[in-house]
Amino acid sequence: MHLRIKRLTLTAKLPVRTTEHASCFDVYADIDGVIAPGERLLVKTGLSVAVPPGYEVQVRSRSGLALKHGVMVLNSPGTVDADYRGEVGVILMNFGKEHFGFKQGERIAQMGVYPVVMCPLEEVETLDETARGAGGFGHTGR
């Protein structure tokens, strides 16, 4: 299986696995930009992908940007469906206290390819009972 990628611009940089066993490819900005504290920006990559049926691409934050600058993928993981052929964009959010500037060609996110279970939906009148029930959002303690 291959993830087929098309450059949409001459400046687009192909994603790269930076180590032999990295589960994700690094993704690069195809624009220069600045994100103010508390702001978000759709960062263009200049790429489109053909994800094989039965899979999705998930776009995730880079740990270094999150730790050092408070910059993360807002809808992490962002999903690229198998039938989408438009430009892959990355919604970056600056949760930090300083403006975050980046240049075209800098790593801004990472993406991996993951299987998707395409199960049908079935509407029912009741659901089976479990010990947890409707407990959520910290119901088991801190």
Instruction: From the options 3.40.190.10, 2.40.50.220, 3.40.50.2000, 2.70.40.10, give the CATH code of 4-115.
Output: 2.70.40.10
pLDDT, mean over the chain: 95
- pLDDT tens for each residue of 95-112: 999 999 999 999 999 999
pTM of the full structure: 0.88
Tokens of 28: 């690069």
* Euclidean distance between CA atoms 19 and 66, whole angstroms: 20
- Across 36-106, where does the E strand assignment appear? 40-44, 47-50, 55-60, 71-73, 78-80, 89-94, 100-102
DSSP assigned state of 97: S
